Amino acid sequence: MTAICLSVGPAPYAGATEPALNFFDTVKFPEMLQNDVYKMKCSITWDANSKFTEIISRCSKPNNEVYAHGNATSKGGDNAKYNAGPISYLSFTVKSVDAYKNFPMYGQMCAGAVYGVQQDGIKETMAWIEANYKGLTRNKKISKKFNGHEVSIIGGTGATRTLTCGAKPRK
């Protein structure tokens, strides 16, 4: 008996291991964060464990960090270039009370990634985030599913808070 396995779907996403979020891709998202509004510095690299199927973006500015993980395919050659794929995991960290003003904006990005343009879902997600992010203490984590994706808030040392959405990459 012979078995043949086929992968059906667009080729750039065939290596995906986590469900994609809506709205952002691995190239446009860091580009957006580097604009005149957000003023972040970003680096985009291949996830070394993924055999050139997954991309990591790290963006930062004082007391703020953004991490994105998503899927992509190589354009060939030295593998420095890639075709954009969907983001599957986002993490936003603020490290001071002064940076809390950015938390609702990050919450909006997370809610948009989870719901796309569904305004009712975005409002529900934002209400949950705003009601919970200030009250967490160190190493406390709360999570809730929205539109099939997990959204979590994690308390850190002092004023540090992290907001995540999507499926954390597997090692």
The model scores a pTM over 0.85: no
For the segment 77-92, what is each residue's pLDDT rounded down to a tens digit?
655 677 788 999 999 9
For the segment 142-164, what is each residue's pLDDT rounded down to a tens digit?
999 999 999 999 999 888 999 99
Q: How far is CA 51 from CA 54, 74, 90, 95, 158, in A?
A: 8, 10, 21, 33, 38
Backbone Cα Rg of the chain: 17
Three-state helix/strand/coil letters over 124-161: HHHHHHHHHCCCCCCCCEEEEEECCEEEEEEECCCCCE
CB neighbourhood size of 151 (10 A) = 23
pLDDT score of 107: 92
The answer, yes or no, to whether residue 3 has pLDDT greater than 50, is no
By residue count, the chain amounts to: 171
For the segment 38-67, what is each residue's pLDDT rounded down to a tens digit?
899 999 888 877 777 888 999 999 999 999
